[in-house]
Chains A and B, each alone.
Chain A
């Protein structure tokens, strides 16, 4: 049986290819949007994976440290080390900061980790260059996407840090590169005031009779020192002994230490269902809109192409062509347009994804699902043109 759709496409291939390319760019954008969502989820998972933690211990009643703020004393980890099933426990702080790089600022997540203990929870697992933090102060390991170079000095608040190592795919849940610095520096940076503020604070303390008592001359110095120090961390990351179930270790901590504990599954759920949920919904809405626009474009193009063949369709019907054959011709053309569009879209998306500032993950399964979605949309979009073609009266081919 002759393929009428195939012959028509070959006859006017330029029209089909150009239309397919236009549609393909739209499909490319749609695939990229799906990739952006996948990238966001992957960023969140990578961040959790990179911590190497099995449990996140945070302030009671909070969903920290990523979804909301959490504050714990920095000596609490010692208690946790004695809990059943716990192998390691390490303090960690997270600060979202703009770190100066040349004339620009780089949006980063500064992570305070225990210096000199690579392999403990919170530390970057692998480095692509340099070494881990070994000194207690003023060293940093940065994700390679931050643009920082080995040996470069970067400024965080009032202090300068030397980049001693570079890591890869160590990003926050929103894709910002992480900069790891010693925990003490991070704690200081979290609440570090500028000099003017410090002077003002000390003047206020000195003028406060409760703090500046003539009979207790050291009290003022102690108050000033306590207000300048930060003994809090955002979370304690816990690694469990092999064979320990996370929930079995979490329950005693919740019960006896009266702290909030999240397992890996729960933490992923907080990130995906709460922290990036709104962005995901936004992207999903974009996907729906783009799908509708694609369908409308395909429907319009196929309708227009069919409109230009009304007389031929009337002749075909008059000489005895079955409705099924005519409908098949239109649907095949629509699907062919979709296939051209998908191929173009997939190629363009693959080429432009590396240019995106955020991580875009094109999953093969998403592409397969996208391919079938395109075919379905094209098949549905051809319905309008098919309805019009089937309504054509074969008598139109005869004059009068």
Chain B
């Protein structure tokens, strides 16, 4: 899926009113190009999760402008009407824990999104298998989530995030439960997928091991994001 990645201008989020108001985001600017993977780092309470929730169309920003792919989703109070469809079609999510649906097998976990979008089951499953093959977990296609290792579960979760070919993927600490080797493997997969599908990916992380792999990093502190060049070491 080609698109224009992520474009954020002056994004603000305030919780509460008056003296008790908390300014979680104080005018964040951010650009992520299609096919690019950027890191989003910062201490606890800095505003990472708030930014991710705004980008994920889960909460409304107070002000600013957000463009995902080729669609303006928020512009100073105006927002896209059908946020559910937006999340389904434009945004892929990869969570800290895989959160696979325990009663669906691997294929159906991945195929669920296109099925919910109305694509016939057989086509949705074919799409899912294609992605599982790309992520090298096709041999576990009929397994239940409880039968998978942590790394396999996370790869299936990535496949689920990618299955609708969204222009944007938001990954919330996707390597947190994994050891170094598996964490690096997940980041490599995200990079491969970003290139292959021209997807803009934001990875929120605390993981010191993977931070050096990003070419660009946004440091967020007290609701303000600063762009830094990453080391971009690649994957040894």
**Which A residues are within 8 Å of any B CB, using their own CB?**
1-2, 4, 7-8, 10-12, 311-312, 315-322, 325, 393-395, 397-400
Per-residue A-contact encoding for B48-70, CB less than 8 Å = 1, 0 else:
11101100101100000000000
Q: How far is the CB of A19 from chain B (nearest CB, A)?
A: 16
Output the nearest chain A residue to B113 by Cβ-Cβ distance.
A319
Is chain A's binding surface mostly helix, strand, loop or mixed? helix
**In the complex, what residues of B have CB within 8 A of residue A393's CB?**
58
Residue pair A395, B53 in contact (C-beta under 8 Å):
yes
What A residues does B88 contact at CB under 8 A? Answer: 319-321
Residues of B within 8 A of A312 (CB): 99, 101-102
In the complex, chain B residues whose CB is within 8 Å of the CB of A316: 101
Tell me whether A7 and B49 are in contact (CB under 8 A): no
Considering only residues 121-173 of chain B, those with a C-beta below 8 Å from chain A are 121, 144, 160, 172-173
On whether A395 and B116 interact (CB within 8 A), knowing A8-B103, A312-B102, A320-B88, the answer reads no
Given A12-B103, A312-B99, are A320 and B84 neighbors across the interface (CB < 8 Å)? yes
In the complex, the answer to whether B95 meets A397 with C-beta atoms within 8 Å is yes
Known interface pairs A1-B115, A318-B87, A322-B84; A395-B58 also in contact (CB < 8 Å): yes
Do B96 and A399 touch across chains, with their CB atoms under 8 A apart? yes
Chain B residues, Cβ within 8 Å of A10: 103
Known: A319-B112, A321-B88, A398-B53. 20 other contacts (CB 8 A): A1-B115, A2-B104, A2-B108, A4-B101, A7-B103, A8-B103, A10-B103, A312-B101, A315-B99, A317-B84, A318-B58, A319-B88, A320-B117, A395-B53, A397-B95, A398-B56, A398-B95, A399-B96, A399-B173, A400-B53
**30 interchain pairs (CB within 8 A)?**
A2-B104, A2-B111, A2-B112, A4-B101, A4-B104, A7-B108, A8-B103, A11-B102, A11-B103, A312-B101, A315-B93, A315-B99, A316-B101, A318-B87, A319-B87, A319-B116, A319-B160, A320-B85, A320-B88, A320-B89, A320-B117, A321-B88, A321-B116, A395-B53, A397-B99, A398-B56, A398-B93, A399-B96, A400-B48, A400-B50
Do residues B104 and A7 form an inter-chain contact, with CB atoms below 8 A? yes
Residue pair A311, B99 in contact (C-beta under 8 Å): yes
A10 to B: closest C-beta gap in Å? 7
Question: Counting chain A CB atoms within 10 Å of each CB, which of B50, B53, B101, B113 scores highest?
Answer: B101
B182: min CB distance to chain A, Å: 19
